[in-house]
Amino acid sequence: MGKSFAEKSRDEEISRDSAKYILEVVKMASEFEAFSPSTEVKGNAIQAIVNGIMRKELAYNILARHGITKIEPDKWYPEQSWLDAFHEIATELGDAALYAIGRALPPLLDLPPGVNSVEEAIEKIDEIYKAHHRGQAGGYKATMTGNRSAQIISENPRPCAYDMGLLTAFIEHFNGGAPVKIRHEDDMCCRKLHHHDCVYFVSW
């Protein structure tokens, strides 16, 4: 026996809701796509774009094209403008430039008092991230997996290559500059491919 009109209508409504949910998840997971149009980022984080690119004039020009003409460390800017600048950099210069920008960020961050070791820094990484944002911006989940290793889950709209540079330099910053190893858990489960997060394993 076929389905009744009411049953068919209900199934169609569920299908529409499911499709809408999937589209929202994909949007939330995408690199370069702010979780909310009202989210803001602090100026000192934006400065990393200039510090990380060798061609400073190019960096300033890209930021200006997206409405950021003067960077003040304590001023707040629309996160989407920053992400749009990231997107242009990715298109023009590739992942190597995004990685370099990530590496340039740690010295610019406002750090809470009492963070003096890698372990303390990893414990505070989500707090530090959120202190540089206003509004819905995602975050990090970090878990120590050994004496000198950790798993860090990144759930934010940053490009993956930028995060790998940031996390590497962030840990080096508290490890006397000693080398840090970082690997992506699964290259197919990546924000670059619209996965909802990226999982990294770091060791030092």
- pLDDT of 22 > 80? The answer is no
Q: What is the pLDDT of residue 36?
A: 95
Under DSSP, the state recorded for 78 is E
Q: Is the pLDDT of residue 21 over 80?
A: no
* Single pTM value for the model: 0.82
What pLDDT is recorded for position 8? Answer: 47
pLDDT digits (tens, 9 = 90+) for 135-181: 999 999 999 999 999 999 999 999 999 999 999 999 999 999 999 99
pLDDT 10s digits, 47-86: 999 999 999 999 999 999 999 999 999 999 999 999 999 9
CA distance 166 to 100: 8
Identity of the amino acid at 166: L
d(CA 109, CA 14): 45
Judged by DSSP in three states, 34 sits in: coil
The structural domains of the chain, with segments of one domain joined by +, span: 31-204
Q: How confident is the model at residue 19 (pLDDT cuts 50, 70, 90)?
A: very low
Residue 144 CB coordination number (10 Å) = 13
Topology annotation, domain 31-204: H-NOX domain (3.90.1520)
Among 145, 141, 146, which Cα is nearest to 124's?
141
Place of tokens 């950099």: 89
What are the angstrom distances between the C-alpha of 191 and each of 155, 195, 198? 9, 5, 6
Q: List residues bridging with 55 in a β-sheet.
A: none
> Which pLDDT does position 31 carry in this prediction?
86
Q: Alpha carbon of 58 to those of 85, 89, 170: distances in Å?
A: 11, 9, 25
- How buried is 87 (Cβ within 10 angstroms: 0-12 exposed, 13-18 middle, 19+ buried)? middle
